[in-house]
């Protein structure tokens, strides 16, 4: 009876894990498919979020020279570079959104628990630092 219960629990756990992975993958595929409209209110929200969450590493000017940057093994992104020079995203708004949602492995860039709207606000904010221009893709 005990072994039967253990097998049932293991099967339920395996099913739960499989469903979790399936739905996680589905949500990853949908990352950033619907960018929030770029409005003055969203830009203001992005500025506030940046000042409260990003400035320590990325700096007030977005140049990657925040007060915590010197402590980090991997230096923070310099958002003042032209968008095409950004290593991971190349300035693609959907990829920047993905970084905010998932983080970047093997770097201090952790995932942030923001709403999608807040992530889009930050995407637009960091893109403003760039010397180049990009159209949201």
CATH number at residue 71: 1.10.760.10
As a whole number of angstroms, the distance between CA 103 and CA 74 comes to: 13
Q: Give me the domain span that covers residue 47.
A: 31-129
Is residue 5 one of the residues assigned to a domain?
no
pLDDT digits over 52-89, tens only? 999 999 999 999 999 999 999 999 999 999 988 888 88
pLDDT digits over 105-134, tens only? 888 998 889 999 999 999 999 999 996 544
Count of structural domains within the chain: 1
As a whole number of angstroms, the distance between CA 55 and CA 68 comes to: 9
DSSP state of 85: G
Using DSSP's 3-state secondary structure scheme, residue 28 falls into helix
Q: Whats the size of the chain, residue-wise?
A: 137
Is residue 59 one of the residues assigned to a domain?
yes
């Amino acid at each position: 009876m005990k072994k039967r219960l253990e097998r049932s629990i293991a099967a339920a756990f395996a099913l739960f894990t499989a469903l979790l992975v399936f739905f996680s993958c589905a949500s990853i595929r949908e990352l950033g498919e619907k960018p929030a409209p770029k409005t003055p209110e969203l830009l203001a929200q992005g500025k506030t979020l940046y000042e409260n969450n990003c400035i320590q590493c990325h700096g007030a000017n977005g140049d990657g020279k925040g007060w915590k940057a010197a402590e980090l093994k991997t230096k923070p992104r310099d958002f003042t570079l032209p968008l095409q020079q950004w290593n991971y995203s190349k300035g693609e708004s959907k990829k920047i959104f993905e970084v905010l949602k998932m983080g970047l492995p093997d770097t201090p860039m952790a995932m942030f628990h923001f709403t999608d709207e807040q992530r889009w606000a930050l995407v637009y904010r960091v893109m403003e630092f760039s010397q180049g221009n990009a159209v949201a893709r």
